[in-house]
Structure 1
């Protein structure tokens, strides 16, 4: 099980966030308290390797829940700067931009808390599974790829009329696959309005064309799959991260209309990728659409984040504002969160998850495998132990 976990993307991402958090704590303290860091790192790493710890899985999850409160206390202490003997240091000090250690610590703590809450939520969901037996263990972090399967319900008894109707519908389905198109009405509708859509692009309303394309996908989504995506942690986590990133970019460009429309359009395309599993394979086949087509959007997103990151750190050719977007007082302490540190921390996380989406798209063994919806993995520990004893 340990070997399987080490080959997953979740393991390396959580381990990276753990290392970033512990390294920032060492830079903040630089005293005897640094001795606590290795033990804390090992506790959080055990939470990452929960599925491999069969005998103490419950204890590991309980310790992880306790660590949520400890990490939350560290977050407020670092954010309010009330931690005693906290060292002020800079992770990056450029010509006009600088990132402090306590800002990196605060943002990494928020991500770590969310991931620990996910671990506790998944463990609670496994306990609610009444069908599971004592010797059946359901993995918390390790998941498997799934794909939808076409199920055709046929009556046990059918007359000749029903048989003819079934044969005709089958012929029509093959005809649509061969034509690789939608229905006749959308084809005629698009054909009569191609000139209008081209004229809209010529007038500068190209964002409206993107909205029409995305709306066409959304209208063909399968409702059950869409509701399952809405309750997925990965979709909610990425939606939150990209939403914060979009707001920071709009504020960075002083809410200029072109930047707002471009950011909003990119936000829609990202959510299109996150919810694309709700489009059933038969509909993709009719349209001639493949999941690999999303690679262009993901690559452009990654390049855009890299360019913006270099603009903030090195180039500084655009007139970008770095203002305080959240400020309040707690007693005599003044808490202020700025746009650029928040944006840079979000871009690091979203860049890593963008690469993860690319990895999911290209590692699929089947064209119908889903990229955001995963299946639960269960195994019989008693039978495995018996086989090893033999």
Structure 2
């Protein structure tokens, strides 16, 4: 019997960090690590003395940077150079105050390198599109975008940075439209890749710029949305929740569900009130005396996951597991053979193979989906990483269907690939006890993801290097905007999706390859740390009396006195020079 009613007792799981969280030293800043004490003090005095004029110049530079795209080429070049000179002092200074240990953690993440590569590629392509001194504008954008991705290391002026970032998104969209509409003075597009044989395909610089600026806008919006939500939940808290650096998670068994029927009768929902309660408890557990050296804290999920609460309460019989895997392999092989041998097969045979591959794939996937834990599945499908993967995979699938002019056998083949990749993306919703029943290990899904990625890369190779008479470029959107004919072809859109998937899928393959039966691969956990500077600043500004001001040693504006951990002498460790922030103490 393939499936039957489940009668076994469930297990309750909670998401917990898969590895110990790192320890950080907030006394270290980028500037303090790179410069000597003398140079550090000199720069600090200069920035403190001229803080307001430099801030005003920075704001003027940002306004000029927006105007560059709307004026003629000569004026734009002059404004670009002036805006770069006005913006650099505060732009570089803001980067120099980032906490060194947080930056080290961020640069080890995939999100940072993907964001950095996307930003660098976009800046280079737009600079090539300008091909004059207006490339100075892209230097400002490149540094500014990296300041955004390092937002976890900012301990001062976080709300102001979020506001500036929000205000910077519309100009980014404006530049995108101006380039797509070919309204920039003195700029011409250029070809990056083309296939001259029939059918003809080409990939221009404007196509790449447009697609990657859309990706960049999505990533910036994600960072801002996460940070804004974290700030809203922690309005009166000194705890800083990281939005880029996140920890790996595992499903940790906490109890048997039969021992607590009342608790598991209705799973807890994730609400803003629940999160505030968790944050209040987190703040209560933090030390009353803030420390510079501390271990990062895990933001606990406020709900648990009962393995009995599945999509469909079914149990796979032990003797059928091998049959399921055989059927799944057959479905995968049939779908791949449709693509590999499409030229040598008759249309009816091709259609039968693609339909057979789809049927076998569904027969394999359905039992997995039936055993997904409901609340874990909801948490998974609402995460940014899943939505980003799903969007890229779905957009790539639809693009190839359009390129093949919706030919039935190819569409069924692509639908099968789409099901396989989404099966791999949703495996986090399978609890360890269900993985054991299915004799499943996460590493089994790694070759599936690799095959699907290689299949789409092979389609790109057929387009530009081999040629395929079945592939025909099409227009996704065509219209007239401001007396300009705007057309969005399918091929550049598909090419950009595959480049993005080629960067993201290796990370998923690696996670699946090293994951244990308890680990999750898509869902990430939030971590935070206690902001020493926020707590210490409030205490200094509110708690000092006139008598204390007269007798206590004077500190420069923006300077804080470190709290040393137990066992450290006043002369050991990092000096006070790395604690100095650019902005005044009042924030």
TM-score by length of 2: 0.57
Question: How much has 1:318 moved relative to structure 2?
Answer: 4.1
Q: Which residue of 1 aligns with 2:264?
A: none
How large is the Cα RMSD of the aligned pairs?
A: 2.7
Q: Which residue of 1 aligns with 2:527?
A: 377
Equivalent-residue separation in structure 2 for 1:150 and 1:261 (angstroms): 40
Q: Which residue of 2 aligns with 1:160?
A: none
Question: How much has 1:302 moved relative to structure 2?
Answer: 2.3
Equivalent-residue separation in structure 2 for 1:310 and 1:188 (angstroms): 39
The equivalent position to 2:359 in structure 1, one of 168, 186, 208, is 208
Instruction: Assess, with a 3 A threshold, how the Cα gap between structure 1 residues 56 and 188 changes in structure 2: closer, same or farther.
Output: closer
Aligned length: 357
Matched, 1:141 2:244: yes
Conservation of the 8 A alpha-carbon contact between 2:118 and 2:212 = yes
Question: How much has 1:128 moved relative to structure 2?
Answer: 3.1
Conservation of the 8 A alpha-carbon contact between 1:302 and 1:354 = yes
Give secondary structure in 1 for the equivalent of 2:250. Answer: coil
Matched, 1:386 2:563: yes
Q: Which residue of 2 aligns with 1:223?
A: 374
Conservation of the 8 A alpha-carbon contact between 2:238 and 2:531 = yes
Deviations 1:47-81 (A, max 9, x none): 11111222233233222212211110011111122
The equivalent position to 1:101 in structure 2, one of 182, 197, 205, is 205
Question: How much has 1:265 moved relative to structure 2?
Answer: 0.9
Give secondary structure in 2 for the equivalent of 1:335. Answer: strand
Range with greater deviation from structure 2 (59-68 or 113-122)? 59-68
Equivalent-residue separation in structure 1 for 2:129 and 2:433 (angstroms): 55
Matched, 1:73 2:177: no
Q: Which residue of 2 aligns with 1:276?
A: 427
Matched, 1:297 2:448: yes
Equivalent-residue separation in structure 2 for 1:274 and 1:231 (angstroms): 12
Higher helix share: 1
Matched, 1:368 2:514: no
Give secondary structure in 2 for the equivalent of 1:386. Answer: coil
Question: How much has 1:238 moved relative to structure 2?
Answer: 1.4
Question: How much has 1:152 moved relative to structure 2?
Answer: 2.0
Range with greater deviation from structure 2 (55-64 or 214-223)? 55-64
Conservation of the 8 A alpha-carbon contact between 1:46 and 1:60 = no
Give secondary structure in 2 for the equivalent of 1:85. Answer: coil
Range with greater deviation from structure 2 (292-301 or 56-65)? 56-65
Structure 2 residue runs without a partner (length 5+): 1-101, 261-313, 335-348, 536-561, 571-587
Q: Which residue of 1 aligns with 2:146?
A: 45
Equivalent-residue separation in structure 2 for 1:62 and 1:269 (angstroms): 41
Instruction: Assess, with a 3 A threshold, how the Cα gap between structure 1 residues 57 and 257 changes in structure 2: closer, same or farther.
Output: same
Give secondary structure in 2 for the equivalent of 1:151. Answer: strand
The equivalent position to 1:90 in structure 2, one of 173, 180, 191, is 191
Give secondary structure in 2 for the equivalent of 1:146. Answer: strand
Instruction: Assess, with a 3 A threshold, how the Cα gap between structure 1 residues 283 and 344 changes in structure 2: closer, same or farther.
Output: same
Conservation of the 8 A alpha-carbon contact between 1:27 and 1:87 = no
Range with greater deviation from structure 2 (202-211 or 324-333)? 202-211
Range with greater deviation from structure 2 (315-324 or 378-387)? 378-387
Question: How much has 1:19 moved relative to structure 2?
Answer: 0.6
The 5 Å alignment of 1:1-390 reads 1-95=102-196, 96-130=200-234, 134-153=237-256, 182-184=315-317, 187=319, 204=353, 205-364=356-515, 366-382=516-532, 386-387=563-564
**Greater Rg, structure 1 or structure 2?**
2
TM-score by length of 1: 0.84
Equivalent-residue separation in structure 1 for 2:230 and 2:385 (angstroms): 18
